[in-house]
Structure 1
Amino acid sequence: MIAMQYKIKLPDSYDMNTIRHRVSANGEKTDGFPDLIFKAYLMSEKYDTPESSNEYSPLYLWKNNEGMNRFIFNGYYDNILKTFGWQKINIGVPSLVELYENFSKSKFALEIEKEIIEVSTMKSLSFSQNFKECTGIVLIYNPDKWKYVEYYFFETLPENMLFFKIYKILHLSM
């Protein structure tokens, strides 16, 4: 498996309904895309939480690099280039993936970024939170940057999420 995400930071004055319309018109194009486990069309808005800004940040989980390569180099990613310009694509290795029966009903994603601190003996990464209401959890690491990201997916957002990075899921392709 391989994960990828591009985080497009948008100005505070950007009309986020433009993103909603974009996903509504085009989101289904990645439904059933070869080798795609899921694509979560993630969006945050500056007023969602104190941690939020206007951002469009699709998250992909691929079975292998073949589907990712097809997406990037066979014209699909060109839509991002045309609309938002050259974007850095973050790549990571999924360490833990649990998608539950109700994952397709996910409407929110919580993201926690962490550093992998230098140690003399490596140990498996683990999740820092324990939410019972999750529809899925994904932990992705990048040894090039020694960082990892925890994703928690929800159908309805639990309370007390004020200081977490929360994304709305506009569409979920599987």
Structure 2
Amino acid sequence: MNAMQYNITLPNDYDMEVIRNRVAENGMKTDGFEGLALKAYLIIEQKDRKEYAPFYLWEQTGGMNRFIFEGFYDNILTSFGWQHINIAIPLLTEISDKIKEARYVIEIEQDIKRTNSMQKPHYSLPHLECLGKTIVYNPDKWKYVEFYFVNEQPEAVECNIYEVLHISK
């Protein structure tokens, strides 16, 4: 299993309805995509920050490779230019059958600290009521990221809070 995400930072005056319409018209095209466990179409829309940041969980690398190299990712390239794709390894994943009902995703990035004895990262919000959650890590960067799929927008916390536009499964 692999995870990937690209974070497209948009100008502050960008009309986010363009992204909303894009996902409304095309989001279902990744429903049932080969090897895709989950794709969450995510945005942040704040006064001083606008971002489009789709998040993927791939069951197989074949589907991810097909998406990137067989024309599907070209839609991102032609619309937003060259983007860096963050790749990570899922460590813990719990997805309920109701994941498509999630309205928000909480993303918490953590460092994996230098040590002489590796310890598995754990959820920092273990009791949060959610429809799904995953921890992905990248040993190249020594970071891990927690994703929580929730219905209610959380109170102010030190993290990114994305609005979910669509979830393909």
TM-score (normalised: structure 1): 0.93
Aligned residue number for residue 170 of structure 1: 165
Shift of 1:155: 2.0
Is 1:11 aligned to residue 6 of structure 2?
Answer: no
Aligned residue number for residue 79 of structure 2: 83
Aligned residue number for residue 147 of structure 1: 143
Equivalent pairs: percent with the same residue? Answer: 50
* Cα separation, 2, equivalents of 1:131 and 1:111: 16
What residue identity is the alignment partner of 2:98? N
TM-score (normalised: structure 2): 0.96
Pair 1:166–1:129, CA change in 2 (3 A): same
- 1:100-139 matched pairs, under 5 angstroms: 100-139=96-135
* Cα separation, 2, equivalents of 1:164 and 1:63: 26
Runs of 4+ aligned structure 1 residues displaced above 6 Å come to none
Is the CA contact 2:108–2:158 (under 8 Å) kept in the aligned structure 1?
no
* Cα separation, 1, equivalents of 2:161 and 2:79: 24
* Cα separation, 2, equivalents of 1:131 and 1:46: 28
CA-atom RMSD in angstroms: 1.2
Is 1:57 aligned to residue 53 of structure 2?
Answer: yes
SS of residue paired to 1:54: strand
* Cα separation, 1, equivalents of 2:93 and 2:147: 10
What residue identity is the alignment partner of 2:12? D
SS of residue paired to 2:93: strand
* Cα separation, 2, equivalents of 1:89 and 1:167: 18
Aligned residue number for residue 72 of structure 1: 68
Shift of 1:162: 5.0
Shift of 1:130: 2.6
Gaps of 5+ in 2: none
Is the CA contact 2:109–2:144 (under 8 Å) kept in the aligned structure 1?
yes
Aligned residue pairs, count: 169
